[in-house]
Structure 1
Amino acid sequence: MKKRKIPLRKSVVTGEMIPKKKLLRITRSKEGVVSIDPTGKMPGRGAYIAMEPEEAKLAWEKHILDRVLDVKLSDEFYQELFDYVSHQKARRELFGDES
């Protein structure tokens, strides 16, 4: 049986190539609205970070997403991102890795 290719994406925080399923996509629409994209299919400019609370915290401290998406993000958005990543990691540990 032919082995399937696993899509990889680069984390904007660490610069490491990681399988797409283990990343979270953050998008910026044409109107400049930034949102978390759990499906990975929303239109707009996307940036990926790993589903690790430490990586979300580092992105917040260094305002990495501000530079990558070319917008000024509020602390509320970074807090929402950190909470989302922490929740998803806890779910993955509790229910097992769905990938």
Structure 2
Amino acid sequence: MTAGKKIPQRMCVGCQTVRNKREMIRVVKSPEGEFSIDKTGKKSGRGAYICPKRECLEAAIKGRRLEKSFKCSLDKEIYEKLRADFGEAGG
């Protein structure tokens, strides 16, 4: 008897639901301090996961959960860029 392969789980910073890592969108802060959507899941830097729903992104922004995850304050321009990128990525 062999155990099945473990599927990585991550918590959405918006709705606080635990889901499969591959079902979620990763927001990453690069070592240079630039924020972006990581479509591959392999970019280096600190990451936070969000469900592919606009409501989850807005909840994360409203609750300042991205700032807590990245341990820094975010400018309005970064939020606007994330909203634009998020629309392309899946929500």
Q: Scaled by the length of structure 2, what TM-score is found? A: 0.78
Instruction: Give the Cα–Cα distance (whole angstroms) in 2 for the partners of residues 35 and 19 of structure 1.
Output: 20
Contact map agreement 2:30 2:46 (CA 8 A) in 1: yes
Aligned length: 89
Give the number of the structure whose residues are more often helix, by fraction.
Answer: 1
Instruction: Give the Cα–Cα distance (whole angstroms) in 2 for the partners of residues 89 and 32 of structure 1.
Output: 24
| Structure having greater relative contact order (Cα 8 Å, sep ≥ 6) | 2
Percent identity over the alignment is 33
Instruction: Give the Cα–Cα distance (whole angstroms) in 2 for the partners of residues 76 and 31 of structure 1.
Output: 17
Q: What is residue 58 of structure 1 aligned with on the other side?
A: 59
Q: Scaled by the length of structure 1, what TM-score is found? A: 0.73
Query: Aligned-pair RMSD on alpha carbons?
Result: 2.1
**Runs of 4+ with deviation above 6 angstroms:** none
* Unaligned residue ranges in structure 2 (runs of 5+): none
* Unaligned residue ranges in structure 1 (runs of 5+): 91-99
Q: Secondary structure at the match of 2:90?
A: helix
